[in-house]
Amino acid sequence: MSQAYTPGLKRKELYLVTKTRRLPIPGEVLVKKGDRVSIDTIVARAKIPGDPNIVNVAGILGVDPNEIEKYMVKKIGDNVKKGEPIARYRAFFGLIKSDCLSPVDGTIESISGITGRVIIREPPVPIELDAYIPGKVIDIIPNEGVVIQTPAAFIQGAFGVGGETHGEIMMMSKKTEDILTAEQITSECKDKILVTGSLVTAEALKKAVEMGVKGVVVGGIMDKDLSEFLGYTIGVAITGHEKIGLTIVATEGFGAMRMLEKTFKILQKHEGEIACINGATQIRAGVIRPEVIIPITSSDKITTSLETDRDLFTGGLKPGTLVRIIQEPYFGQIGKVYSLPPELQFIETESKVRVVEVELEDGRRVIVPRANVEIIEE
């Protein structure tokens, strides 16, 4: 039978994290296969072509487009400075004259006798790509980037905002149901990744930005609070580009949601250590989940049983599998698969679906559609 369940979000105490770091355009790779890199190591760089500026030379000089070649004082490939003439028109022994000046520093890229326009390309803009995580370079993608690998504690969230950052983990609560409020955030939180239980308020997020906090990892977030903090409502779930001063990772979802005990314990265990986090979420066309990576630098902790992503499709629901229910009426509850009835069953909506029997933490056994459970990978 096909896999009628949602692949789970990873919560791994020890996982071999592999990150492909790629330039947006071809460039130069600065490290070698086998090199060890740190978070800030620049692994590749490129020059993004500068912005093109289109100058309507024919219009400015008042001549026909097909005549502009003869009035150009600069040719294709010439460098020009801002304010420097690129074309000049003289008539009646210089009595009528007009100059067309370059609006920017750049290079003449094209001169069109059809449109009468000239394109001046601004100097290229250098960009640098950092490693984001410390680790070993296991592969080089020529002219594009590198693949870095590190053993780490690895947590995937349900939803996040804000881009890549890193900082020291600071536990802000003792229990998974705790809420992070503005009063708890002090100057000691500067540059830290704050971890709390079930919720963070909009005021707390604003205070966190004021105090220079790098990120917040939390169980749930109210849509109202997130919208208030961002200043707008998220439509399509493609995030990570927000410039909001910090990165947020909601490990469970929207609403007041206790962080999964296991996740909380992993973060607790690594308090004081560096975590690399990214809020980027893309649910559509390529699932990207927000993540918390806590690199494990001590090699004696690494075992050979490290998992890779390819294991996903071989696994599946079976009796004993730990799952989270992802729809009402048991939304957010954790349990173990008790049985997998093969026949389709009617649910409350009157739909006939493939179901799973789950034994919840309180001992109750409930029937839910298989599509509504998410495997908690152990």
Partner 1 sequence: MVTLRKPKEEMKYILATDVGSTTTKARFFKKMENGEWRYIISGEAPTTVEAPFEDVTLGVRNAVREVEELTGHKLLSENGIITPAKDHEGVDLYVTTSSAGGGLQMLTVGLIKTMTAESAERAALGAGAIVMDTLAIDDERPIHEKIERIRNLRPDMILLAGGTDGGTVKHVMEMAELIVSARPTARFGRGYKLPIVYAGNKDAQEQIKHLMRDKFALEIVDNIRPQLEVENCGPARDAIHRCFMEHVMSHAPGYDKLMKWTDVPIMPTPAAEGMMIQLVSKIYKENVLGVGLGGATTNVYSVYDGKFVRTVSANLGMSYSICNVLKETGIENIMRWLPFNIDPYEVINRLRNKMTRPTAIPQTLKNLVIEHAVAREALRLAFAHHKYLAKPLRGVRLAEKDRDIGSMFERRLYEETYIDMLNIGWLVGTGGLLSHAPRRVQAALILIDGFQVEGVTKLAQDSVFMMPHLGVLSTVHPKAAIEIFEKDCLVHLGTCIAPRGELTQKDIGVVMSVNIKMPDGTKIEEDLPPGTIKAIPLKKSERAEIEIIPQKGFDVGAGPGHRLQTTVEGGVVGIILDTRGRPLTLPSEDEERIEKLREWFRNLNVYPESVYEEDGL
Question: Which positions touch partner 1 (CB under 8 A)?
Answer: 1-4, 6-7, 25-26, 49, 51-54, 65, 109-110, 112, 114-117, 119, 121, 144, 158-159, 222-224, 233-237, 253-255, 281, 283-287, 309-310, 312-313, 326-329, 331, 347-351, 353, 368-369, 371-372, 374
Shortest spacing between CB 294 and partner 1, in angstroms:
21
Minimum separation from the CB atom of position 147 to partner 1 (A)? 13
Residue 309 CB, shortest distance to partner 1, in Å, is 4
Who contacts 316 (Cβ-Cβ below 8 Å, separation ≥6)? 3, 5
Between 26 and 83, whose beta carbon lies closer to partner 1? 26
d(CA 116, CA 69): 9
- In this complex, which beta carbon is closest to partner 1, that of residue 85 or of residue 253? 253
- The tokens for 124 are 């290229």
Minimum distance of partner 1 from residue 117's CB (angstroms): 6
**Residue 193 or 326: which CB sits closer to partner 1?**
326
Given a contact cutoff of 8 angstroms between Cβ atoms, the answer to whether 21 and 129 are in contact is: yes
Give the Cα separation of 293 and 275 in Å (integer).
6
Q: Which is nearer to partner 1, 41 or 263 (CB)?
A: 263
> d(Cα 216, Cα 196) in Å, to the nearest integer?
8
Least CB distance to partner 1 at residue 133 (A): 17
Q: Give dist(CA 35, CA 284) in Å, integer.
A: 34
**Under a CB-based contact definition with an 8 Å cutoff, are residues 202 and 225 in contact?**
yes
Token pair for residue 267?
A: 């973060």
Q: What letter represents residue 172's amino acid?
A: M
Cβ proximity to partner 1, 7 vs 245, nearer residue: 7
Tell me how far, at minimum, the Cβ of 237 lies from partner 1, in Å. Answer: 5
* Residues constituting the chain: 378
Q: Which is nearer to partner 1, 234 or 302 (CB)?
A: 234
Distance from the Cα of residue 160 to its chain's centroid: 8
Residue 298 CA: distances (Å) to CA of 12, 295, 302, 306, 316: 17, 9, 8, 15, 32
Q: By C-beta, is 211 or 337 nearer to partner 1?
A: 337
Least distance between partner 1 and beta carbon 24 (Å): 8
| β-bridge mates for residue 108, sequence order | 120
State which amino acid sits at residue 330.
Y
* Phi, psi (deg, nearest 5) at residue 194: -90, 140
Of residues 104 and 274, the one with the C-beta less far from partner 1:
104
Residue showing tokens 């963070």? 200
Residue (158 or 275) nearer to partner 1, CB: 158
Min CB(368)–partner 1 separation in Å: 6
Question: Shortest Cβ distance from residue 274 to partner 1 (Å)?
Answer: 25
CB 159 within 8 A of CB 287: no
CB 124 within 8 A of CB 48: yes
Strand ranges inside 298-347, DSSP E: 322-325, 334-339, 345-346
